[in-house]
């Protein structure tokens, strides 16, 4: 268990993210990144970027093509028919619940992934339409599918983010940033993926585990992921990076509530430590 205690660090005054010390004591005294409260906060922050609500549990049934070149996007972290993680999710669901509403799409999802990247978006519609979205939404009522989504989220995205955060010696805000990068950019060590973005940041600033300044290092992580978003053409001026920049500017490395943040023009607030779900 990571022994460090995280609390507010001094930083510039910021009305949106300035926490009250007395109200933050519940989080301030928590030891260990594995504390489920930190996970719940991170899930809520990323959910506001992904689905415009801190209630991540509303996203089990979400499914649509958002025209990002990845085919259908669905579920808690936006599994995609054109990137392979949706195939892995449906495989996991089918292993746990054979005969589920999505099992019949496994051959089509495999065929999509066998195709070149550029052909996958159109192939997703040709092979999965018209019934796939409705069947996904029907499956979202199944506790086994909800459980599969949470388990795959933790296996592919949360677990690696937690492991890397502990290794690098970052606190709760760093963990939340790592998780958001993991979800948005995917696993891997190439320059555009989770591991590669962290590697780029380490070249600019040492992580705390190597004696570096935590705020400076985390700012480098945010800058590295912004550079990738710009290279993709996905960068938005008030996009998901604003969540983390605001908290960094306020010095709230411990994610001590109450604090607020803005993303894509919407403002959200966390008034107290949330109950893990």
For residues 177 and 245, state if they share a domain.
yes
Residue 245 in any domain: the answer is yes
For residues 53 and 163, state if they share a domain.
yes
Q: Which tens digits make up the pLDDT trace of 33-92?
A: 999 999 999 999 999 999 999 999 999 999 999 999 999 999 999 999 999 999 999 999
For residues 134 and 248, state if they share a domain.
no
Nearest-CA neighbor of 261 among 123, 26, 31, 54?
A: 54
Q: Which tens digits make up the pLDDT trace of 129-160?
A: 999 999 999 999 999 999 999 999 999 999 99
Residue 1 in any domain: the answer is no
pLDDT for 235: 85
Q: Which tens digits make up the pLDDT trace of 105-134?
A: 999 999 999 999 999 999 999 999 999 999
Active site residues: 50, 68
For residues 185 and 204, state if they share a domain.
yes
Q: Across-strand partners of 269? A: 260
For residue 27, the tally of other CB atoms under 10 A from its CB is 24
For residues 225 and 173, state if they share a domain.
yes
pLDDT for 14: 39
For residues 208 and 81, state if they share a domain.
no
pLDDT for 82: 96
Which of 85, 107, 139 terminates a domain? The answer is 139
CB 136 within 8 A of CB 85: no
Checking if the pLDDT of 208 tops 80, the result is yes
The boundaries of the domain holding residue 132 are: 61-139
Checking if the pLDDT of 200 tops 70, the result is yes
CB 185 within 8 A of CB 192: yes
Query: Which CATH number fits the domain that encloses residue 177?
Result: 1.20.141.10
For residues 166 and 227, state if they share a domain.
yes
Which of 80, 104, 139 terminates a domain? The answer is 139
Residue 10 in any domain: the answer is no
What is the average pLDDT score of the chain?
Answer: 90
């Amino acid at each position: 268990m990571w022994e460090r205690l995280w609390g507010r660090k001094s930083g510039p005054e910021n009305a949106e993210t300035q926490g009250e010390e007395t109200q933050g004591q519940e989080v301030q005294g928590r030891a260990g990144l594995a504390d489920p409260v930190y996970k719940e906060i991170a899930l809520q922050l990323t959910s506001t970027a992904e689905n415009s609500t801190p209630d991540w549990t509303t996203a089990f049934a979400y499914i649509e093509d958002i025209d990002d070149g990845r085919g259908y996007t669905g579920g808690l972290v936006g599994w995609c028919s054109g990137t392979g993680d949706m195939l892995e999710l449906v495989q996991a669901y089918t292993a746990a619940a054979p005969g589920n509403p999505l099992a019949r799409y496994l051959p089509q999802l495999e065929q999509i992934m066998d195709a070149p990247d550029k052909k996958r978006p159109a192939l997703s519609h040709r092979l999965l339409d018209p019934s796939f979205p409705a069947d996904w939404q029907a499956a979202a009522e199944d506790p086994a599918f909800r459980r599969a989504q949470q388990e795959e989220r933790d296996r592919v995205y949360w677990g690696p983010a937690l492991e890397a955060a502990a290794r690098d010696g970052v606190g709760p805000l760093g963990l939340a940033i790592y998780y958001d990068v993991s979800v948005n950019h995917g696993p891997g060590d190439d320059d555009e993926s989770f591991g590669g973005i962290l590697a780029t940041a380490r070249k600019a600033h040492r992580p705390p585990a190597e004696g570096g300044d935590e705020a400076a290092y985390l700012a480098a992580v945010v800058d590295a992921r912004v550079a990738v978003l710009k290279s993709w053409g996905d960068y938005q001026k008030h996009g998901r990076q604003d969540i983390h920049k605001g908290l960094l500017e306020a010095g709230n490395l411990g994610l001590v509530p109450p604090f607020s943040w803005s993303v894509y023009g919407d403002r959200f607030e966390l008034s107290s430590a949330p109950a893990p779900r």
